[in-house]
Structure 1
Amino acid sequence: MSQPDIRVRRTRTLLRDALVELIEVKGFDRITVGELTTRAMISRAAFYRNYRDKYELVEQIFDEAMTEMTTLDGDTRSPGERWADFLKHIDGYHRLYGALLGKKGSPWFTDRMRAALAAMVSTHLPDQTADDLLPSVVSAMFLQSIVWWLESGRPVPPEQIAAQSSRLVRAVLQTTAGP
């Protein structure tokens, strides 16, 4: 897949930066496309050439990361390595994720992220179904690990928080496996 041209990348970067700044000031739910384009200093037409609304702007960033984490074709990374790479992505966009998952963030995004993590977890639990408690609990643990890490100022590298959260999840999985 080819990279978008420099103007598209610049527009996307400006919009992402504006989104973070506005979330920190107003909260995600109160932001309008007009405010985003004004803060980013781009036209509404440029926004709508790239996204249908502010939700798609956020979804694109998150979906790219989830695709990278869950794509298995020819991928030799272990689930733990994919999780660490996902946390590296979060680290790279820490202001955005911190804003979206923080106090002025978006319940919509938190729910979306939890559901995506639960779906990912379900693929690693072949005897479980998507509506079981276990994927929901594990995804909540992963999400809370991310929130804690961001709110604490990312005190450890992504690889370390990945290892710590993975150990917690393994303990839950071992406990639910029974005697």
Structure 2
Amino acid sequence: MSQPNLRVRRTRALLREALVDLIEERGFDRVTVGELTARAMISRAAFYRNYRDKYQLVEQIFDEAFAELTAAGSDRPPGQRWQEFLAHIDAYHRLYGALLGRRGSPWFADRMRAALAAMVGEHLPGQGGDALAPAVVSAMFLQSIVWWLDHDRPYPPAELAERSAPLIGAVLETAGGATG
């Protein structure tokens, strides 16, 4: 897939920054497209050329990162992918801190948890229709991220991945899945 042109990348960056500022000030639910475009100093037309609403803006940011994490045919071990995902969270820590924090969006937290559960479910052979282990592991992933952001990222992404791996591995082992 080709990279968007410079103007599109600039528009996206301005909107991300405006979104974070407004979430921190007002909370996600109260942010409007009009406020976003005014803060980002772009036209509504520019916004709507790229996104249908504020939810799609957030989804696109998350989906791009998640696509890298779950790249088909990846030969990277799950621990490395987790570390890379945490590096993405670190790079956009203000955005994720705003979306997952007190003034954030329960919608986004649920969407992120569901995406993580789906990814975990793919790596748990023999679980059949049992969604408990993926749900528990995705909640642990999400809570690890929230804790890390709430405490101003006291460890680098690699260390957080290393510290959380035994906890998540214990759940996977108890569930009878592979931790590999």
Deviation string for 1:137-160 (max 9, x for gaps)? Answer: 000000000000000000000011
The aligned counterpart of 1:155 is 154
With the length of structure 2 as denominator, give the TM-score of the two structures. 0.95
**CA distance in 2: counterparts of 1:130 and 1:54, whole angstroms:** 33
Which blocks of at least 5 consecutive residues in structure 2 are unaligned? Answer: none
Letter paired with 2:170 = A
The aligned counterpart of 2:53 is 53
Deviation string for 1:16-61 (max 9, x for gaps)? Answer: 0000000000000000000000000000000000000000000000
**CA distance in 1: counterparts of 2:128 and 2:93, whole angstroms:** 32
The aligned counterpart of 1:30 is 30
Which blocks of at least 5 consecutive residues in structure 1 are unaligned? Answer: none
The aligned counterpart of 1:138 is 137
Report the 3-state secondary structure (helix = DSSP H, G, I; strand = E; otherwise coil) of the residue aligned with 1:104: coil
**CA distance in 1: counterparts of 2:105 and 2:6, whole angstroms:** 30
With the length of structure 1 as denominator, give the TM-score of the two structures. 0.95
Deviation string for 1:60-119 (max 9, x for gaps)? Answer: 00001111001132x221111011000000001000000000000000000000000000
Identity %: 71
Report the 3-state secondary structure (helix = DSSP H, G, I; strand = E; otherwise coil) of the residue aligned with 2:76: coil
Deviation at 1:131, TM superposition (A): 5.0
Deviation at 1:167, TM superposition (A): 1.3
Runs of 4 or more consecutive aligned structure 1 residues displaced over 4 Å after TM superposition: none
**CA distance in 2: counterparts of 1:15 and 1:130, whole angstroms:** 40
Calculate the aligned-residue CA RMSD, in Å: 1.3
